[in-house]
Chain A
């Protein structure tokens, strides 16, 4: 198809304008007209470079801020002002930068504990959300019953509200002492415990996951579930052994979205806990901890941000593999 038009174009060009003195840009433009694919390719690269720069440059900048020694933060151009490759010859491996910030963040504050807090809260929430939304997705996606649409709408309504709308009642609830919880919590209240975050986050992120999984589960042919049940599973067994494995991309998507959102959450977490790693304060609380009353250690905040992003980055890479393999292995034939 493309070659056909190419040869036609070349043919007409030969007749119409056989000799034209062109500059390099004009020549490039003429070639692009003859061969539009070149132009599309050029546009593709331009757009890609633009997006790469806009998305990756902040990370680069963050790294530069982290590497700049405290005190010279005003002098970053593209690299820290103190950066000097010639120092390498003198035996200074850091070349005038300050990688020590990545160690210092753990010395000044128990930053690993903040990371652990966020990681645990995000993981537990994701597991709860995936299990509950898998069950709900099965019901909404595969069963027929009266009032299904209104019920689904009701579930989605939860996600229409801004999370702040739920804050006051929840805060009051979690600050109350419950006698039932006395044996578990010292004072019987959920404030300053991970449950104060896991419970509302699970509720807030459920609707989206239910929605995603419903659409995925609905597409699995009925015959596969019937076959699994005949072969010896219960309905629930069929869900976990056949429907979920075949919906891996959907489950991965729902899981990653939930995990990232909870891991980076600040609004609820900061209000449900007192600052301090031992109170299950989240990662953002930790990053803000480097901001003192008289001093703001931007380089440490930048270093902490980079370290904090790592688990998410790893998760996305792993999950992405799962998504891709899930897509290629799918090939469902009814």
Chain B
């Protein structure tokens, strides 16, 4: 059993707090991914678990042991690095067996284990190659073999696929998942690539500015983000945000109005809230049957179209004067939607769209905290006049 527990970890460099009061509880056999923008503290957190960095305060537990003051070699961990970090002066065999030789294993035992590890990562017959004679993918496999050969309790991976080309990355992604199934060890994985995080993890830990924002299974992070940061970070392209406030009849902003009964969500009148909706939860009005619970159509103008093949991303503007060529969906008065590739849609075309109410998120604008992840009731005014429910200012 090798649970990993971080308790109140703080890491402070001279004037920067890299990790701020981090608490994590990772169960044995779990695949947990740390994601976050660069400089958010995810690598520092991992180095703290590895023992390469000593926390300013807090406790690191691996298994039942307090390892906060133990050197990396005594923690029962192994690690794969972003820059692969094979020893350039050793061949593949020596690289893989390095840790075993340091621990004075029998020659026959070392041979047996190295052979098995090489088999797992499909490296047989390459034992005499030097690292500089191998391709990036092969080197990465050697690094993984070096990490698994010692049967560690915890497996740490710091952006191991970041330096590989796109195709190889997808391939190695599946290999790692297969490996996780075979090894049944705890894997902690750092990445800034959310596709990796979404596809491989049991749970995703979203970190920003040294603080844990949310740790949940991938789809929970996607569907029920804990706050504005998680909502904007998870998902590509990211969620649309519309800032507004709570009025008597629901959410209201310059461009978008969604009616509901604020008291059902414990929202006071006049409270500043941000509405969030993912591009795929916005539908063209003539397709509104696809939405589980559509709002009343909004009129908008298409600006830039990005055909992706399997879908088209369309940037919509509510204000015709607004020029917004940059792909920033969060400009005020702009909405990014994803439509079916067969849809006939042109730039600068006036169209009507609806939002799927069951997929609308509301956040507290000031604190960023999520208030609700769906709006179920149609509000008090819905029976009185549905046409007033949603509309644009224009």
> Which A residues form the contact surface with B (CB < 8 A)?
221, 223-224, 226-234, 237, 242, 245-246, 329-334
Contacts and interface: CB of A to CB of B under 8 A. Distances in A.
Residue of B85, B102, B146, B150 with most chain A CB atoms under a 10 A cut-off: B85
Interface string B66-83: 000001110001110111
B290 to A, nearest CB: 49
Contacts of B72: 226, 229-230
Contacts of A229: 51-52, 71-73
A223 B87 contact: no
Given A233-B73, A333-B132, A221 B83 contact: yes
Interface string B101-132: 01100000000000000000000000000111
B88 A329 contact: yes
Contact of B85 (A221, A245, A330): A221
Interface residues of B, number: 27
Contact of A246 (B77, B88, B146): B88
A231 B81 contact: no
Given A226-B79, A227-B81, 18 more contacts: A221-B83, A223-B82, A223-B83, A227-B79, A227-B146, A229-B51, A230-B50, A230-B52, A230-B73, A230-B79, A232-B98, A232-B99, A233-B73, A237-B102, A329-B89, A331-B88, A332-B88, A333-B83
A41 B212 CA distance: 67
A223 B88 CA distance: 12
A192 B131 CA distance: 52
24 contacts: A221-B83, A223-B82, A223-B84, A226-B50, A226-B72, A227-B79, A227-B81, A227-B87, A227-B146, A229-B52, A229-B71, A229-B72, A230-B72, A230-B73, A230-B77, A232-B98, A232-B103, A234-B71, A246-B88, A329-B89, A333-B83, A333-B84, A333-B88, A333-B132
Contacts of B98: 228, 231-232
Contacts of B130: 329
Residue of A224, A227, A329 with most chain B CB atoms under a 10 A cut-off: A227
A276 B150 CA distance: 60
A232 B81 contact: no
Interface of A: prevailing SS = helix
B12 to A, nearest CB: 15
Interface in B300-330: none
Contacts of A226: 50, 52, 72, 79, 81, 85
B88 A231 contact: no
Contacts of A329: 88-89, 130
Contacts of A237: 102
B322 to A, nearest CB: 45
A242 B95 CA distance: 11
Contact of B81 (A223, A233, A246, A332): A223
Residue of B50, B77, B99 with most chain A CB atoms under a 10 A cut-off: B99
B89 A246 contact: yes
A226 B44 CA distance: 13
Contacts of B86: 227
A223 B51 CA distance: 14
Nearest to A330: B88
A230 B83 contact: no
B102 A334 contact: no
Contacts of B73: 229-234
Interface in B31-85: 50-52, 71-73, 77-79, 81-85
Contacts of A332: 88
Nearest to A231: B99
A197 B302 CA distance: 86
A245 B98 CA distance: 14
B146 A231 contact: yes
B103 to A, nearest CB: 6
B86 to A, nearest CB: 8
A247 to B, nearest CB: 10
Nearest to B86: A227
Contact of A334 (B77, B83, B131): B83
Contacts of A242: 87, 89
Contacts of B89: 242, 245-246, 329
Nearest to B89: A245
Contacts of B103: 232
Contacts of B150: 231
Contacts of B51: 229
Sorted nearest first, the 10 A-B pairs with minimum C-beta distance are: A223-B85, A231-B99, A232-B102, A227-B85, A232-B73, A331-B132, A223-B83, A230-B79, A232-B99, A223-B81
Given A230-B73, A231-B73, A233-B73, A224 B79 contact: no
